[in-house]
Amino acid sequence: MGQKKYGNYVKASLWPYYPEIPVFQLLRDTAKRLPDKPAILYPRRLTFRELDLLSDRLASALDNLDICKNRKVALFLWNSPEFFISFLGILKTGATVTALNPSFKEKEAKYQIKDSESTTIILDEAQYPILKGIRDELTGLENVIIIGEKRYTETYLLKDLLEINVNPPKVEIDPKKDIAVLQYTAGTTGLPKGCILTHFNIVTNVLQILFPSLGKACEDDIFLSHLPFYHIYGMTVQLLSGIRLGASQLIQKRFEPKEFLGLIEKYRATIVYTVMPVINTLVNYPNLSKYDLSSLRFINNGAVPIMLPIAKRFEELTGVTLTQGYGLSEASPVTNFNPLTQIKLQSIGPPLPDTEEKIVDLKTGTKELPPGEVGELIIKGPQVMKGYWKRPLKTAKALRDGWLYTGDIAKMDEDGYVYIIDRKKEIIKYMGFTIGPAELESVLLEHQAVADCAVVGKPDSIAVEIPKGFVLLKEGVKATEEELIRFVEERVAGYKKIREIEFVDTIPRNLAGKVLRRVFIEKERAARVI
């Protein structure tokens, strides 16, 4: 694709230098190059050689359990060194990873395990009660592997499997065809969908992210990795990019500001990939000035739109450079990034190397619009998924003539930098997480008092959006806002819970019966302006 200039930044092509290798080869190559360097510094030290060996041992054990190509293995884990070992060990068998949010409740976990056709699950001991409550319904689940000390009936302990003699299977991977990850993403009209990401999709995206003229990351960098690894942002940009570089990582189980700041200061972390709500928390943290953050070269915001006043305030308080990128699960995930040589903070930046982008008209999606005009952002590149798992109709709608239709409303300036204006989709963005309104609507409709409902994102200065429900009660039946909020909260992960309920006399629908959420979205925006 050659070179293209974006302002002062020249976007070069990596073709034909993308290696057709499996994802786990990233680790094997680094383990040979830097065997004794720590891959992980915190919460425990683990070198690249040790990480390679432990994942080989797990692959050997999984092979003995008949886990091989075309099998699916679920991870139900918080951030930890064991996530690294499990993720890479699974891929070394040729099997596919699908990672669950560790805050999932029974209904959510059951859905992803069944839909992905997972035959094995590796989970934290703390998540076992969730699995135990649904195990009888998971007829295809053959093996349960627990990270912890307590032994349960018909389960294995990971620590026992890691003591097995190393004899990893010799597996032939076709990087462009074989599925590395089924990454589930929220939907507006149904339950979450699995994005089919091949080994080639993910490896190329890692190399695109690490292109020298973008972040200038190197093996001397230290990542503070707090984004959840089950999320494609954390999985590709933290876990795998760090491994490819040979950078050391500090792993937070989940974000907590005191530990976060303390780790940066103690270990002299240099790069953090994060989300806007975390930056907002840091700006308002009372002891921020007491921490030495001078080692940080930059912090990147992704997943949710940047809030310029907060971003500028953060830079003023810390002296740390803030930049912004963009991606989506369907693209492994990164498609845009602001090069450090020319940051336009309000923009998501130009496209990555070998990524083409157009702004097209909203009506037909076929007419390319000139710079400055607003339309839908569409993307083409080697990191774009092969489709949605078992969803041919949704795949055909999202992938048209080789282009991924993002559903995001955007514009492009004369330098080729892209600006996200709004979302065509009705996905709710809460604290960097995506929430499908249809999923929450289906839960609300299980309540005996609810006749109909709609769920939308209500603008929020800290969370970006919060889920708000509009409910039509059955005639003659009563229910309170608190009762319905609690009902949903008991059935979904904490971040998905509905924060507000408003009772209405009707739920508008089109002739096909689809909820017209846009009516409520506009209502909430109008109320905010007033």
**DSSP assignment string, 378-444:** EEESTTS-SEETT-HHHHHHHEETTEEEEEEEEEE-TTS-EEEEEESS--EEETTEEE-HHHHHHHH
Let me know if domain 45-172 sits in CATH 3.40.470.10: no
Query: Sorting pLDDT into bands at 50, 70 and 90, what band is 307?
Result: confident
Q: Does residue 149 register a pLDDT over 90?
A: yes
DSSP secondary structure letter of residue 235: I
- pLDDT attached to residue 13: 76
Which residues face 138 on adjacent strands? none
pLDDT in tens, 3-62: 666 666 566 677 777 899 999 999 999 999 999 999 999 999 999 999 999 999 999 999
Backbone angles phi, psi at 349, to 5 degrees: 95, 180
* Region(s) of the chain under CATH 3.40.50.980: 45-172
User: Which of 6-10, 58-62, 426-430, 459-463 has the least mean pLDDT?
Assistant: 6-10
- With b for 16 or more beta-carbon neighbours within 10 A and e for fewer, the 480-519 pattern comes to eeeebbebbbebbbeebbbeebeebeebeeeeeeebebee
- Nearest in space to 144 (alpha carbons), one of 258, 202, 241, 65: 65
CATH topology of domain 428-529: GMP Synthetase; Chain A, domain 3 (3.30.300)
Residue 221 clears pLDDT 80, i.e. is over it: yes
Please tell me the distance from the alpha carbon of residue 250 to that of residue 264, in angstroms, as a whole number: 9
Nearest 5°: the CA angle 175, 384, 521 is 150
Give yes or no for a contact between 196 and 385, defined as CB atoms under 8 angstroms apart: yes
Per-residue pLDDT tens digits for 371-386: 999 999 999 999 999 9
State the pTM of this model: 0.88
Residue 496 — very low, low, confident or very high, per pLDDT cuts 50/70/90? very high
According to the model, what pLDDT value does residue 90 have?
98
The amino acid occupying position 465 is E
Residue 511 pLDDT level (bands cut at 50, 70, 90): low
Peptide bond into 333 cis (omega under 30): yes
More confident site: 503 or 427:
503
Query: 415: closest CA among 14, 10, 1?
Result: 10
pLDDT bin (cut points 50, 70, 90) of residue 202 is very high
Which has the closest alpha carbon to 414: 322, 344, 311, 325? 344
DSSP letter assigned to residue 139 = T
Q: How confident is the model at residue 530 (pLDDT cuts 50, 70, 90)?
A: low
Q: What per-residue confidence (pLDDT) applies to 434?
A: 83
- The residue written with tokens 């078992």 in the block is 390
Confidence label for 1 from pLDDT (cuts 50, 70 and 90): very low
Whole-number Å distance between alpha carbons of 437 and 188: 6
DSSP strands (E only) in 87-203: 96-99, 118-124, 143-147, 156-157, 179-185, 193-198
What is the residue whose two structure tokens read 């940080």? 296
d(CA 515, CA 286): 44
Report CA Rg, the chain. Answer: 23
In the block, tokens 């800290």 appear at 462
Domain with CATH 3.30.300.30 in the chain: 428-529
Q: For position 213, what pLDDT does the model report?
A: 64
Question: In this structure, which amino acid lies at residue 161?
Answer: L
Torsion of CA 393, 104, 88, 38, to 10 degrees: 140
| Tokens of residue 96, six digits | 């596919």
Give the residue-averaged pLDDT of 400-411.
94
| Dist CA 467 CA 257 (whole Å) | 25
Record the tokens describing residue 295, joined without a space.
């080692």
Average pLDDT, the chain: 93
Answer whether residue 529 shows pLDDT above 60: no
Dihedral (Cα; 76, 70, 92, 269), 10-degree rounding: -40
Mean local confidence (pLDDT), 85-101: 98
pLDDT at site 402: 95
Looking at residue 370, what DSSP letter applies? P
Q: Find the Cα–Cα–Cα–Cα dihedral 359, 365, 368, 374, rounded to 10°.
A: -40
Q: Are strands 248-251 and 38-42 parallel, antiparallel or unpaired?
A: parallel
- Return the higher-pLDDT residue of 308 and 419: 419
Sheet of 322-327: strands edge to edge? Answer: 46-47, 38-42, 248-251, 222-225, 271-274, 298-301, 322-327, 334-337
Q: CA angle, 397 as apex, 425 and 443 as ends, to 5°?
A: 50
